[in-house]
Amino acid sequence: MEPTTLTGKTAIITGANSGLGLETAKSFARLGARVILAVRDTEKGQAAEHEIKEETPWAIVEVMKLDLSDLDSVRDFAETFISRFDSLDLLINNAGVMTPPYAKTKDGFELQFGSNHLGHFALTGRLLPLLLHTDNSRVVTLSSLAHRNAAIDFDNLDGSKGYKAMKFYGQSKLANLMFATELDQRLKQHGLSTLSIACHPGISSTNLFKLGSREMPRIFKGLMNRYLQPAAMGALPTVYAATDSGITGGEYIGPDGKGQRRGYPALEKPDSAVNDEATRKKLWDVSEQLTGVTFDFNK
């Protein structure tokens, strides 16, 4: 399924030190891309870089610090990247936290909405000038099956009026999908070549699945590996969304198997909530207000 080359292209992958992000980075490296591992923990990032280079000795890989739960870190990352690189072909908004106990980001947002959506929103907005400067660049944003039956509760985005971890995870993943869709529409309205695509990994065996803060017991890991698809398969929709020549923007890509839980990449229909234009626009406006980042679509 992988195309022949990404030689000469530059890719940023958030959360690239493990799981889906690491597998995506390995694929891109094999295809010849310069890969930036944008990670919160640079030590883990360096271990991932070493792993990639062991498999692909010619890989061009670099670790850069990015904490999506800290808007100052997002700004610093974007400014550093723009000062060093003159193009950006692929931005993979991959990193995510899933169902943690109630917590807030440095800027006071509920952790899942703040990291999964607002951090990526701000990152994309700050990198947009470079993306627009790069012909046929792509932004790929990861959603989840959990977006189905979710809703954006604008009256309780910070969780101060009650918090249920899975409900807020679903909200953050619906926000990811709404953002990807709205971004695609705005890019098209301005006649730009940059594409925005959403995807999801099905149900993959990654380190998102933990029991609280503890590692999962080995017996459960064995069961998961039997019934869930490995991270390398879960990463295929991302690789497909980032590289397939038939992509035109606005697609939602996921596994083609039963319930979209596992399988090979295919076009999917998102939950009908994503088609609510008024909510998408409100989410965009609220996200700009909360992050202080506005999108300039003028090249």
Would residue 224 count as lying in a domain?
A: yes
Q: DSSP letter at 257?
A: S
What pLDDT is recorded for position 217? 52
Q: What is the CA radius of gyration of the chain?
A: 18
pLDDT tens over the chain, length 299 residues: 445 589 999 999 999 999 999 999 999 999 999 999 999 999 999 999 999 999 999 999 999 999 999 999 999 999 999 999 999 999 999 999 999 999 999 999 999 999 999 999 999 999 999 999 999 999 999 999 889 999 999 999 999 999 999 999 999 999 999 999 999 999 999 999 999 999 999 876 554 444 344 455 555 555 555 566 778 888 999 999 999 999 999 999 998 766 666 778 999 999 999 999 999 999 999 999 999 999 999 87
Catalytic residue among 102, 169, 227, 240: 169
Helix axes 165-189, 120-133, angle to 10 degrees: 20
Q: Please report whether residue 225 resides in a domain.
A: yes
Query: Nearest-CA neighbor of 122 among 105, 146, 137?
Result: 105
Total domains present in the chain: 1
Q: How far apart are CA 116 and CA 128, in angstroms?
A: 18
How confident is the model at residue 5, as a pLDDT?
86
Residue 169 catalytic?
yes
Q: What is the pLDDT of residue 203?
A: 77
Q: Is residue 296 part of a domain?
A: no
Question: Do the domain assignments include residue 297?
Answer: no
Q: How far apart are alpha carbons 71 and 62 in whole angstroms?
A: 22
pLDDT value at residue 232: 85
Q: How many CA atoms lie within 13 A of 73 on its CB side?
A: 19
- The three-point CA angle 111-116-117 to 5° equals 105
Per DSSP, the residues of 188-216 read HHTT-S-EEEEE---SEESTT--BTTBPP
| Domain of 236, in residue numbers | 10-289
Q: Is residue 295 part of a domain?
A: no
Residues 6+ apart with CB under 8 A from 201: 20, 142, 144, 229, 231, 234, 235, 237, 238, 254, 255
CATH code where residue 28 lies = 3.40.50.720
Structural domain contains residue 210: yes
**Residue 5 within a domain:** no
pLDDT at 109: 98
Predicted pLDDT of residue 230: 78
pLDDT for position 221: 52
99-133: buried (b, 16+ CB within 10 Å) or exposed (e) per residue? Answer: bbeeeebebebbbbbbbbbbbbbbbbbbbbbbbbe
The answer to whether residue 294 sits within a structural domain is no
